[in-house]
Amino acid sequence: MYSPDTTKYLIHLNLQAEGVVEKPDVVGAIFGQTEGLLGEDLDLRDLQRTGRVGRIDVQISSKRGETKGDILISSSLDRAETAILAASLETIDRVGPCVAHVTVEGIEDIRVTKRRKIVDRAKELLLDHFEDGNIDSYELLDEVREAIRVEKIGSLGEDKIPAGPNVMDSDAIIIVEGRADVINLLKYGIKNAVAVEGTNVPTQIVDLADKKTATAFLDGDRGGELILRELLQVADIDYVAFSPRGKSVEDMTRKEIIKALRNKVPVEYVRDQFYGDVPGEKRAPDQRLPRPGAGEQNPEKKDNVESGNESTPSSSDTSSELSSPDVISKPASPVSLRDHMERVSGHMIARFLSPEFVVLNETGVDEVEAAIDQMTADVTGLVIDRVVDQKLLDRLVGKGLEFVAARDFNGIIKRPLSIRLMRIVQ
């Protein structure tokens, strides 16, 4: 429309014509009715021929027998000459056979507009594209420690299974899905994680689970459930830690990881979720049965998470928050899911829990249906000391609950994938 190298001003004109006209009619009226009006020095044809006035841009539309639109004319004249030229265009009173009115809406200084854009862009660059020059010693230390932890990731056996540096020496292991999960746990100081890398569980992980306390900590999606199903068939798993629904272990924050591991549950609580009496689904012949004593662990195994910093790799180190077994095995405030199960069991009550396992509502087991109708969106799970049937389960699924722990599950024909079922071991 105009040359950015020579244009100084842009004249904005408004056109109204009492009839239907087209662009050539408007351009012809502009040249025809201004010819000779301002003398030879400001003749529009000569100004355009010498490049001091740019192309005339006409944008009009006709509706109901009237034509309206805008006219833009670029100018490299000085301010006074441009103002005179703009004023002369307001003398146009006809376009073709139609009565017309032309009004100057404004004269834009292209250089001012450019400067304004430059200032706005400079502000964006200043705020978003300069690296923060502040030096935080704690951030520097964290970056260096994280790099060391990532470098320490190792591999086990001929299959090169991704594993933390303390897997072989620790009394406990955490079985995760992939290499990225191991790296994320290392980032937060947990060094005894090992990855299965798919549903075909490596023999070395099966052997490690036989000798050590094994916690399955998998992604909260269908893939994680399939891997857990395989682990329950072939390996001696002691505990299961749940990721948030739809979230991967590799994407979890330190707080989310600690919370998930602290609220792990004995495998007996979840085994029936995958191998209950569901039509068409039978327990695999080599399925490991629950060990005697619900929730009891093998005395040869220890419940701990191997962690610590680079200078103190020992599992007995309690100087770090993650190093202490109490971070996971002892209930914090609020109590863990396992504690809720123990407190509900045998008392004929039900507890509606928040994502942080805070009790949002406690009621008798006979009043659960009424409580569900009044349930808020903050409720994530239910712990109930009664049998859950298909009807009650469907109502809980409809409310968007992520888990339900009950005394038993009877008559469950359709088991939804969106909710975890856990049996309270008496």
**How far is the C-alpha of 358 from the C-alpha of 347, rounded, in Å?**
18
- Most confident listed range (9-18, 122-131, 293-302): 9-18
pTM of the model: 0.46
Q: How confident is the model at residue 349 (pLDDT cuts 50, 70, 90)?
A: very high
Lowest average pLDDT, out of 46-50, 117-121, 151-155, goes to 151-155
Q: How many CA atoms lie within 13 A of 81 on its CB side?
A: 16
CB 320 within 8 A of CB 307: yes
Identify whether 272 is part of a domain: yes
End-of-domain residue from the set 270, 299, 329 = 329
pLDDT at 5: 53
- Condensed to tens digits (0 to 9), the pLDDT of residues 23-81 reads 999 999 999 998 888 888 888 988 988 889 988 999 999 998 899 999 999 999 999 99
Identify whether 144 is part of a domain: no
Q: Of 102, 106, 88, 104, which is closest to residue 16 (Cα–Cα)?
A: 102
Q: How confident is the model at residue 246 (pLDDT cuts 50, 70, 90)?
A: confident
Domain extent for 402: 337-423
Question: Both 54 and 189 in a single domain?
Answer: no
**How far is the C-alpha of 350 from the C-alpha of 340, rounded, in Å?**
10
Question: Both 262 and 410 in a single domain?
Answer: no
- Condensed to tens digits (0 to 9), the pLDDT of residues 255-298 reads 889 888 988 888 888 776 654 443 333 343 333 433 333 334 44
Question: Both 208 and 288 in a single domain?
Answer: yes
CB 172 within 8 A of CB 212: yes
DSSP 385: E
**Alpha carbon distances (Å) from 77 to 6, 110, 384:** 9, 12, 85
DSSP 62: E
Identify whether 164 is part of a domain: yes
pLDDT at 426: 67
Identify whether 1 is part of a domain: no
Identify whether 404 is part of a domain: yes
Long-range contacts at 36-44 (CB < 8 A, ≥ 24 apart): 37/88, 37/91, 38/84, 38/85, 38/88, 42/81, 42/84, 42/85, 42/88, 44/85
Neighbours of 99 (CB within 10 A): 11
Question: Both 31 and 106 in a single domain?
Answer: yes
pLDDT at 72: 94
**How far is the C-alpha of 426 from the C-alpha of 411, rounded, in Å?**
20
Q: What's 107's domain CATH number?
A: 3.30.70.2690
**How far is the C-alpha of 416 from the C-alpha of 419, rounded, in Å?**
6
Q: What's 405's domain CATH number?
A: 3.40.140.20
**How far is the C-alpha of 296 from the C-alpha of 290, rounded, in Å?**
10
Question: Both 265 and 310 in a single domain?
Answer: yes
Question: Both 170 and 302 in a single domain?
Answer: yes
- Count how many domains the chain has: 3
Q: How many CA atoms lie within 13 A of 238 on its CB side?
A: 23
Identify whether 3 is part of a domain: no
Question: Both 384 and 323 in a single domain?
Answer: no
Question: Both 177 and 263 in a single domain?
Answer: yes
